[in-house]
Structure 1
Amino acid sequence: MKKVLLVYPYFYTGAVKDQLFAPIGIGILSAVLKQKGLEVMKLDCTFLTMEEAIKKSREYAPDITGIYIMTTLVKNALELVEKLREVNPSSVYTTGGPLPTLYPVKFAEKFDYVFRGEAANSFPDFCQDYLNASDRIEFVDNMDPSKYPGIFSTKTRPIDSPATHLTKVEIDECPPPDREGFNHEKYQGLCFECSGRKKASIMMTYGCPFSCDFCSKPIFGSEVRFRSLDKIFEEIGDIVSHGYDSLWIADDLFTYDAHFLKNFCTRLIEEDLQLSWSCLSRVDSVTHEMVMMMKKAGCTKVYFGIESGNDYVLKLMNKKIDRTKVREGVEVFRRNGIECAGFFIVGYPGETIDTIEETFEFALSLGLDEISFNVPYPLPGSKLFERVSGICDDDWTFENETRFLYKSEFDETWLKKRILETQETFEGLRLSVIRGMP
């Protein structure tokens, strides 16, 4: 047999979500594996129960099982791998993603192999060589780890091959993500219910050169790499063929490079695909002329990581922006009829009650179409994670809840109350605008 199972261990909780997308990470791996002639099944657990996921895996009986793990999926993934070993004991169990990249030793206790960093080449290469080996035990014993950058294991012998980032050429050599088999009807239905659009996610750039204090980027790193437009539009064509009419561009810094952004918008206008799209953006990365082109190309909404309404706190966060830049950036999009959403963090280490209240007031003053507040999440790998104490790393699975994961000087109950009050005030202001009231 030459079967590979790719698992995305998220189980939908019923929380209201405008942005719930098919996992393109395992889609990319599936596409590369199929290109190599291997049989692959993607096990997207989003709309399954744990029992259904185990049953599907048992029936498929894979030779290799790969489970993607990010912070919020740790609990599910570790429970799943234990149960899958019971039903498929002969499968080789592998993992990858942000958490295994940061803590390979920890995850090597539960998995046979850990793949760190960008594994779009190394994992499929390993699968191909292992499955094609005439003697798989001998292959494992004599394997050259340098052929599979990022591989780590402590099982049969110590294996530790440094992870590497994909080059632009390697990125463009990857086929579009394999979206076959995902439950597109349910993904589209949930999104349409919230937004009136059927959105699919896509990534066009990799890496972020900024070093925000609260951010962790163990997979893509700091070097920004751009996919070719031909590859991007090949993928967009596939997305449209599955019935989607809108894109969520999931890049950290989609608007970072003006030349790339202009070329993308120009081609989207020329091809007249009638797609709407939304993206993340920094407040200081685009001009009025560029925003006009984004609007013409179908951009309907941008999301800003504003984080704070106090310049001192913004410096603590190493955001490299200030209140003035935030106002200017939001206004240029508003003038061009593009909706603006703002993310804010309150209760940051080094803040005071006064700076928190300043953030609430600032958020209400910007004329945003959507605001979201949360407390700091000390993501593993971030500078914030290194500074705070008493971190509870056993439960990152809750959704839509204001809750500290470390010992904070701020009272959760008070913060929840003030966030709710600010949200209610915001909704009142929005309703007044809609009704045309002064």
Structure 2
Amino acid sequence: MGLAYLAAVLEKYGYKVEILDAPALEIDYAKLPAELERRKPDIIGVTATTAVAPSAFKTAQIAKQVVPDALVVMGGGHITFIPEETMKAEPSIDVGVIGEGEYTLLELVETWEKGGDLSRVKGLILRGKDGSIKRTPPRPLIENLDELPFPARHLLPMERYKVFGKQETLGLIFTSRGCPYNCICCSSSLLFGKKFRARSPKNVVDEVEEFVETYKSNHVEFVDDLFIFDKKRVEAICREIKERGLDILWVCSARVDSADLELFKTLRRAGCVMIYLGVESGVQRVLNLMRKGTKVEQAVRAVRMAKEAGLQVVASFVLGVPGETWEEALETIRFAKRLDPDFAQFSLATPFPGTALYQYAKEKGLLLTEDWTKYTVLKPVMRTEELSEEQLKKLIKKAYFDFYLRPKIIWRYIRRGHTKELLVNVLGRYLWQYFKSKLGFR
């Protein structure tokens, strides 16, 4: 949705914008030149998280070859976290947008159109004609998020974005930005700052209503990192939904230390059907190593309350944090089974650029690779002093198999009609590798 926000701001100021969601439209590298040749844009923007950065680099190369006079701009998390490294890695990128991009990109476009000096635009990293790389001063964060227009969904192939296993279009909505916490695996605060900034309840539900009316779908996901950080605001959002008679089914995320039974019941009455809880570990020492700031007992309480309120629970867990032992990782897997959420998501601790974990891994020589395509959270890209690459591979497979391939879980999924999720999430990812390697677990 980041591109749709950028496009909406540019459209508001009279610029013609197109978004090409190449994966959704099945446009591969062979087809891309024709798409660019047909449009001949003045400015070409690409965005990338770390895992897809190599793909963005390839896209930038093709863009430069097909439209050599176009300004190629890159934004997103990867270039925000390691701007100089990114510019050096890919010479096809002329300009990088660092951090929040809406007003930076607008000013960049306005300046470029007038033939002005881009070095006067805040929030950029630039490549000079002599090949030198220069950063401009940072841009202040947007204080009033309500002033941003709603994302330009009309520029996206919305018919391609379906609810998993269904035909209805899924609406992704951001209601806040910023995170004040210090988890070593997370880089959110580098992108959006540590100050929590939120849209007003009316503004949020106005967008929900527009989505429902435009796309005739009642499926919404609030994709904030901290949706229920401000409980009074969330209660007000729920009231707005109810008062407008919006019959929607929605999903949100929460920290386990924000669990509140009455609030969870309020969410459920307003149409929330599922909540994503960041549990991360079943061992307090490991939570402390992660600087999570939560307690194991808070996770137990949060899952219990969510279930009591009638919400399905997705619980996330991280394995392989530096300092975690093999036995502690196994305890987290056992803890996940005892918690018994509806779905469990296991990840390997991954040192994404911008995180404290990345700095630690580089300093200690723990990185196994900087091939960004492998930074999927399911492949080991970092060893630890306690766990080898092979042990990490075993752990992630064991976690998924131990949790999902239990008779009670299989029966639960069959009863609820979730067999497709089971096949995709577990068997599709791991069964072939499992039988190939013939791993045995006790």
For normalisation by structure 2, the TM-score amounts to 0.85
In the alignment, what sits opposite 2:349?
376
In the alignment, what sits opposite 2:399?
419
1:92 and 1:393 map into 2 onto residues whose CA distance is 27
Shift of 1:424: 3.5
In the alignment, what sits opposite 2:15?
38
User: SS at 2:251's partner residue?
Assistant: strand
**Which of 311, 321, 326 is the matching residue for 2:299?**
326
Deviation per residue, 1:21-42 (Å, 9 max, x gap): xxx1110111111111111111
In the alignment, what sits opposite 1:26?
3
**Which of 36, 52, 61 is the matching residue for 2:31?**
52
**Which of 322, 327, 344 is the matching residue for 2:317?**
344
1:53 and 1:251 map into 2 onto residues whose CA distance is 32
In the alignment, what sits opposite 1:428?
408
Tell me, yes or no, if the aligned pair for 2:82 and 2:353 is still in contact at 8 Å.
Answer: no
Return 330-339 or 404-413, whichever deviates more: 404-413
User: SS at 1:280's partner residue?
Assistant: strand
After superposition, residues 116-155 of structure 1 pair within 5 angstroms as 116-131=98-113, 133=114, 136=115, 139-140=116-117, 143=118, 145=120, 148-155=121-128
Shift of 1:229: 2.5
In the alignment, what sits opposite 1:183?
157
Q: Counterpart of 1:349 in structure 2: which amino acid?
A: P
Tell me, yes or no, if the aligned pair for 2:172 and 2:223 is still in contact at 8 Å.
Answer: yes
After superposition, residues 222-233 of structure 1 pair within 5 angstroms as 222-233=194-205
User: SS at 1:219's partner residue?
Assistant: helix
2:346 and 2:15 map into 1 onto residues whose CA distance is 45
In the alignment, what sits opposite 1:365?
338
Shift of 1:371: 0.7
The alignment status of 1:71 with 2:46, answered yes or no, reads no
Shift of 1:308: 0.6
2:409 and 2:395 map into 1 onto residues whose CA distance is 21
User: SS at 1:117's partner residue?
Assistant: coil
The alignment status of 1:236 with 2:176, answered yes or no, reads no
Q: Which runs of 5+ in 1 are unaligned?
A: 1-23
2:182 and 2:343 map into 1 onto residues whose CA distance is 25
- How many matched pairs? 399
Shift of 1:427: 5.7
| Structure in which a larger fraction of residues adopt helix | 2
2:413 and 2:397 map into 1 onto residues whose CA distance is 25
In the alignment, what sits opposite 1:283?
256
Shift of 1:45: 1.1
Q: Measured at CA, do residues 130 and 394 of structure 1 come closer, stay the same or move farther in structure 2, by a change above 3 Å?
A: same
Shift of 1:297: 0.4
Tell me, yes or no, if the aligned pair for 2:329 and 2:395 is still in contact at 8 Å.
Answer: no
1:374 and 1:255 map into 2 onto residues whose CA distance is 23
User: SS at 1:248's partner residue?
Assistant: strand
User: SS at 2:314's partner residue?
Assistant: strand
2:87 and 2:6 map into 1 onto residues whose CA distance is 21
Deviation per residue, 1:15-61 (Å, 9 max, x gap): xxxxxxxxx11101111111111111111112222223332122110
In the alignment, what sits opposite 2:281?
308
In the alignment, what sits opposite 1:200?
171
In the alignment, what sits opposite 1:17?
none
Shift of 1:301: 0.3
Deviation per residue, 1:366-419 (Å, 9 max, x gap): 1210012121111111111112222412233575x7311123423244224422
Shift of 1:435: 6.6
Shift of 1:96: 1.1
Q: Measured at CA, do residues 416 and 290 of structure 1 come closer, stay the same or move farther in structure 2, by a change above 3 Å?
A: closer
Shift of 1:102: 1.8
Tell me, yes or no, if the aligned pair for 1:117 and 1:165 is still in contact at 8 Å.
Answer: no
Q: Measured at CA, do residues 220 and 93 of structure 1 come closer, stay the same or move farther in structure 2, by a change above 3 Å?
A: same
